[in-house]
Amino acid sequence: MLTTKNEIKSYWFVVFLALAAALAGCSPPGTHALLKGKKLFDQGEYADAADEFKAATEAMATNAEAWNYLGVAEQHAGQFEEAANAYKRALELDRDLTEAHYNLGCLWMEQNKMDDAISEFTAYTLRRVNEPEGWLELGLAQLRAHDVLPAEKSFSTALYLSPNNAEALNGLGLARMQRGRPEEAEKFFQAAVQYHPDFGPAILNLATVERDYLHNDRYALDEYRSYLALEPRPANWDEVNAIVTSLEQSQTQSVPMATAASGQQTGQNPEEWQNQTAMEPPRTESSETRRERPAKSQAKRTHNAVSAAPAETVPMQRQPTVASAQNPAPAPPSERDLFSSGVVNSQPVNSGAQGNPNSVQWLRPSPVQESKVKVTPLPPENESEGGTPAPVRIVQPAPPVYPRYLYLSPARPAAGSRHAATVMFNRARDAEREGRFPDSLDEYRQATRLDPSWFEAQYNCGVMAYRLRDYQFSLAAYEMALAIEPDSSDARYNFALALRAAGYIPDAVNELRRILASNPGNARVHLELGNLYAQKLLDVPHAREQYLKVLQLDPGNPQASSIMSWLSANPE
């Protein structure tokens, strides 16, 4: 399973010394209780340590760090409600206390409150943007909440900050499994095992993908055996050992069948064959061979296919421009805020996971259809008239064919009653905040009927319809928004995402190119265009062109590592 460190952020070795020095002028009982609490905590006596920290907070009621320490001890002692209250009190005293955000996020994740955990880890990463551990925990929480695309972005950011990080690679593999892409997931698990041969979660996940999804039982057996050989012994050793026993029996049974057929062809006595096979156990590859095998077999299987392509993007939510003295209009949210809060998922996510979502061993997406992109099998070797083997001709698959969108091309609408539309618009926003998305869409639609010329109302109709996967209505709404503001790059970008979701890939490409015609430095658009070329059109040259442009414009892009991996796997 994906290991969660759940490392409580107390910074005992650094922060505590600084805190003790800062408390030199505080009351002796508070300082004494704090020191005694630390000693008990280090000894593993968490309940007694919590009592001492509680005494410290009584003496130093406004010290946020002391409340954070109290939360740490109470969380270790299993007093989860008390720990949450302590962390919240610490944040009331100091909203910028990043350690409390991290610790509270870990606590909410233990309690399976993923939305709250995502909120706290987002707050942490906004303040500690260069620390990979925050992005790892954020990605894990998003993955458990089935926010797969934001999770991929978080894990990619962690991988950018910490190259070859096993947890980040394993997390990306799990995300690809939730998206129904086992071959891409296999590559991430293989990379995690390659760089960290003793990282159990990736070994187990790789074995499960090989067995249950790619049907490579022999390779799966090797990985399961490697998992069983880990020290200390994994907690689920008996369960995995049962799987290994079953696979070994299957292989043992398959050997007599194959050898019997061979014996019939050579005229061998069946009794002699039975005695021979009973003496020869099935062969297995060495660990060195097994570690070298995945990259080679995967290279063959993914010829002309997308390898570890960067994650897709999401539409942006438009905020209203209506303002008053009592209710000023908020500024449009940043793209990072929208992605972190998961406003809209850009494609449906397979939510068929059951049990523990941290491991593919218990993550069971619905059956995955094979990719339409297949390698044409090589013809059998034959001899030409001159005795020289005939040359092999590899036939490349035909490029995919997609339907085209029938544009509505509406005229700019006439103005209506903005005052009446504003009432419906505000109701729509309230419904959206409360999670009543169908009601929100209905209210936005009413606003557009009352004032068809209101750009924000048309725009948000498109966003909300996209969220509800009503792509045809979303496309119509974006077209109306563009009829009002043809130069809106946000509306055109979201229009392109809706076209992609509806399957109109060539039209999505055209819309993105229209944006680049007026704004060639938009790295976000280059990234999405590269994804379409790589993942949908299988056009490697154009995909390389767009991905290289992303790296040129935004070298620190969170998808940079995925882009470089794709570029290395798809040379010119």
Q: Where are the domains of the chain?
A: 1-163, 165-260+285-301, 418-569
Cα separation, 501 vs 536, in Å, equals: 11
- Residue 301 pLDDT > 50: no
> Among 6-10, 223-227, 367-371, which is the least confidently predicted range?
367-371
Residue range 496-504: mean pLDDT, rounded: 93
Cα separation, 417 vs 264, in Å, equals: 88
369, two tokens: 């259809």
Beta-ladder partners of 383: 389
- Residue 572 pLDDT > 90: no
- The number of CA neighbours under 13 Å toward the Cβ of 315 is 32
Strands, E, within 369-514: which ranges? none
Confidence of residue 474 (pLDDT cuts 50, 70, 90): very high
Question: Apex CA 226: angle with CA 223 and CA 232, to 5°?
Answer: 140
Question: Is residue 65 within 8 Å of 15, Cβ to Cβ?
Answer: yes
Cα dist. 124→103, 104, 159, 367 in Å? 10, 10, 17, 37
Neighbours of 165 (CB within 10 A): 23
Cα separation, 241 vs 226, in Å, equals: 11
| Residue from 136, 158, 166 nearest 6 by CA | 136
Question: Is residue 34 within 8 Å of 66, Cβ to Cβ?
Answer: yes
Cα separation, 474 vs 494, in Å, equals: 9
Q: Transcribe 194-242 into DSSP letters.
A: HH-TT-HHHHHHHHHIIIIIS--HHHHHHHHHHHHT-SSPPTTHHHHHH
527, two tokens: 């990234």
Neighbours of 386 (CB within 10 A): 6
Cα separation, 68 vs 64, in Å, equals: 6
| Residue from 503, 482, 489 nearest 406 by CA | 503
Cα dist. 326→44, 314, 332 in Å? 53, 32, 18
Give the model confidence (pLDDT) of 112-133 as tens digits.
999 999 989 998 988 888 889 9
Contacts (Cβ under 8 Å, ≥6 apart) of 375: 300, 301, 303, 304
7, two tokens: 């490392």
109, two tokens: 């994740």
- Residue 437 pLDDT > 80: yes
| Residue from 17, 19, 9, 14 nearest 105 by CA | 9
| Residue from 297, 316, 262, 9 nearest 134 by CA | 9
| pTM of structure | 0.47
Average pLDDT score, the chain: 74
| Residue from 409, 529, 567, 422 nearest 475 by CA | 409
Query: Is 165-260+285-301 assigned to CATH 1.25.40.10?
Result: yes
Cα separation, 443 vs 431, in Å, equals: 8
CATH of 418-569, one of 3.20.20.60, 3.10.290.10, 1.20.1510.10, 1.25.40.10: 1.25.40.10
Cα dist. 450→148, 409, 438, 453, 470 in Å? 37, 21, 19, 9, 22
| Residue from 522, 568, 565, 527 nearest 545 by CA | 527
Confidence of residue 398 (pLDDT cuts 50, 70, 90): low
Q: Roughly what angle, to the nearest 10 degrees, separates helices 217-228 and 200-208?
A: 160
Residue range 290-308: mean pLDDT, rounded: 33
3-state DSSP percent of the chain in helix, strand and coil, to 5: 65, 0, 35
Question: Would you say the CATH fold of 418-569 matches that of 1-163?
Answer: yes
Question: Is residue 213 within 8 Å of 220, Cβ to Cβ?
Answer: no
Task: Say whether the peptide bond before residue 333 is cis (omega within 30 degrees of 0).
Answer: no
Give the model confidence (pLDDT) of 353-364 as tens digits.
333 333 333 332
Give the model confidence (pLDDT) of 196-239 as tens digits.
999 999 999 999 999 999 988 889 999 999 999 999 989 899 99
DSSP state, 280? S
Fold of 1-163: 1.25.40
- Residue 401 pLDDT > 50: yes
Using DSSP's 3-state secondary structure scheme, residue 53 falls into: helix
Provide the pLDDT for residue 254: 61
- Residue 13 pLDDT > 90: no
Cα separation, 23 vs 14, in Å, equals: 15
The kind and range of the H/E element at 301 are helix 287-301
